[in-house]
């Protein structure tokens, strides 16, 4: 661990002791009616709050019976399908939908121009911030780099302790604006110091959209095609928000309820998102698909492909976790609307990039995986492709390095986090404090000389 003292031997003993004393009998969860992960056994989340920002539909009521249905995702009352169709490929949607989620309604041209102007004004980091903070301690873990940058920005904000709603709104808009810079510059710093690559820092251009700026800041030649930018824009739009119950957004609301400042709240959300069970899922999809390529001799042979997918489910292949990554979702049943709408854009990009064979491979896995899972697992609802299945493939086609996959998620989700932070502040009443059932038994204190 670098300059830290090595305590490997002691840590092993400490860990074994901790595990021995911390194990809880799984049957006690049923005994006390505790829902693990705040979810019912069928996966339904425990109600923990009320929101008007978004809604997810995975089931519908048919004569009093809840029946699985094709998934629907709503932003402030608008079906995400309609929001994307409304763009018609003629304009970028990130800024428009950010306005919707943050402020509650779709903007007209004048309102959108004002909002875009605010984002442009805020696309600026403090003097020498890139040199003194981002480049000071580069890390391959760009989520840690991003979190450190967010927390350090608090030191440059004289209003960090101001609890007025206007100040919180200003801080949210500023963070939405600079997240692309923090992510891309963090990658360039890592690439320069760790990989000995060339260093270049491209400033965001005021006339460009968030998606366009991401691509031109990332690439050495700053060049990109309209299709590339539009597909990335759609990817961002689909990752911006997903209800108040997902782990990072719930973290946002929990920490907000404590009265913490904006920077601390967003840093906590970032820490949640970086977990492989949340924002890191698209990386696992890419690793899995690489593994399948290496172990299936003919990717067009559906029987061979299906057999290997079966080995993955049986924990005999890949990471032996028994999961086909990118398949299934905690909420959706028959389909993830984000994956459904995204697929057509993925196909367009794949055709333009000469990646038809790769797209066909993904298409085959998407079709066969639910069959394999249904044959080998008892499932209470449908197993469908989720948005993570295709997002990594898109990032790969756009030349976005794997280290930036989860930060790209954060660049989008900062909008949803900000919207939920503001909603929590407007309606704040009590600190969020769920209960835990204690199973601890009182013990008699023993003097040091009496302890074995």
Q: Among all residues, which ones are annotated catalytic?
A: 329, 388
Please state, as a whole number, how many other Cβ atoms lie within 10 Å of the Cβ of residue 131.
11
Return the residue matching tokens 């030349």: 399
CA-closest candidate to residue 234, choices 84, 366, 126: 84
3-state SS of 219-248 is CCCCCCCHHHHHHHHHHHHHHCCCCCCCHH
Separation CA 295–CA 136 (nearest Å)? 41
Separation CA 368–CA 326 (nearest Å)? 13
| Whether the Cβ atoms of residue 182 and residue 146 lie closer than 8 Å to each other | yes
Query: Cα dist. 62→77, 107, 334, 432 in Å?
Result: 22, 36, 16, 34
Separation CA 19–CA 175 (nearest Å)? 39
Starting at the edge strand that comes first in sequence, how are the strands of the sheet with 78-79 ordered? 54-62, 65-75, 78-79
Looking at 104-220, list the stretches that DSSP marks H as alpha helix, in order from N- to C-terminal side: 109-122, 129, 142-153, 165-193, 210-218
Does an H or E element contain 21, and which? helix 8-22
- The encoded tokens of residue 217 equal 């800041």
């Amino acid at each position: 661990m670098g300059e830290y003292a090595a305590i490997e031997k002691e840590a092993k003993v400490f860990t074994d002791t901790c595990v021995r004393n911390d194990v809880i009998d799984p049957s006690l969860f049923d005994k006390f009616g505790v829902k693990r992960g705040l979810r019912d056994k069928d996966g339904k989340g425990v109600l923990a709050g009320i929101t008007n920002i978004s809604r997810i539909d995975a089931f519908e009521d048919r004569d009093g019976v809840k029946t699985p249905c094709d998934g629907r995702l709503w932003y402030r009352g608008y079906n995400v399908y309609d929001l994307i169709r409304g763009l018609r490929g003629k304009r970028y949607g990130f800024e428009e939908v950010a306005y919707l989620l943050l402020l509650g309604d779709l903007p007209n041209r004048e309102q959108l121009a004002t909002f875009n102007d605010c984002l442009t004004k805020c696309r600026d980091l403090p003097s020498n911030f890139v040199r003194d903070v981002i480049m000071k301690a580069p890390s391959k873990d760009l989520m840690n780099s991003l979190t450190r940058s967010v927390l350090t920005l608090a030191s440059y904000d004289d209003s960090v302790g101001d609890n007025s709603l206007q100040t919180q709104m200003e801080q949210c808009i500023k963070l939405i604006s600079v997240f692309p810079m923090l992510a891309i510059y963090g990658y360039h710093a890592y690439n320069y110091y760790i990989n000995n690559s060339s260093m270049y820092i491209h400033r965001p251009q005021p006339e460009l959209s968030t998606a366009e700026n991401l691509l031109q800041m990332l690439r050495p030649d700053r060049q990109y095609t309209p299709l590339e930018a539009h597909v990335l824009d759609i990817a961002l739009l689909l990752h911006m928000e997903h209800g108040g119950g997902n782990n990072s957004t719930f973290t946002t609301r929990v920490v907000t309820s404590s009265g913490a400042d904006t920077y601390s709240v967003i840093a906590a959300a970032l820490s949640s998102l970086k977990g492989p069970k949340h924002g890191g899922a698209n990386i696992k999809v890419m690793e899995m698909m690489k593994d399948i390529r290496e172990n299936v001799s003919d990717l067009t042979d559906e029987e061979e492909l299906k057999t290997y997918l079966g080995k993955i489910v049986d924990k005999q292949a890949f990471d032996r976790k028994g999961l086909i990554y990118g398949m299934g979702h905690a909420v959706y049943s028959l389909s993830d609307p984000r994956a459904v709408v995204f697929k057509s854009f993925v196909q367009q990009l794949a055709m333009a990039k000469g990646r038809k064979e790769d797209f066909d491979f993904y298409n085959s896995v998407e079709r066969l995986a639910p069959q394999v899972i249904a044959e080998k697992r008892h499932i209470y609802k449908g197993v469908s492709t989720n948005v993570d299945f295709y997002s990594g493939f898109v990032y790969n086609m756009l030349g976005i390095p794997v280290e930036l996959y989860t930060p790209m998620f954060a660049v989008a989700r900062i909008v949803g986090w900000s919207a939920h932070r503001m909603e929590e502040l407007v309606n704040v009443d009590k600190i969020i404090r769920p209960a835990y059932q204690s199973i601890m038994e009182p013990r008699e204190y023993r003097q040091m000389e009496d302890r074995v």
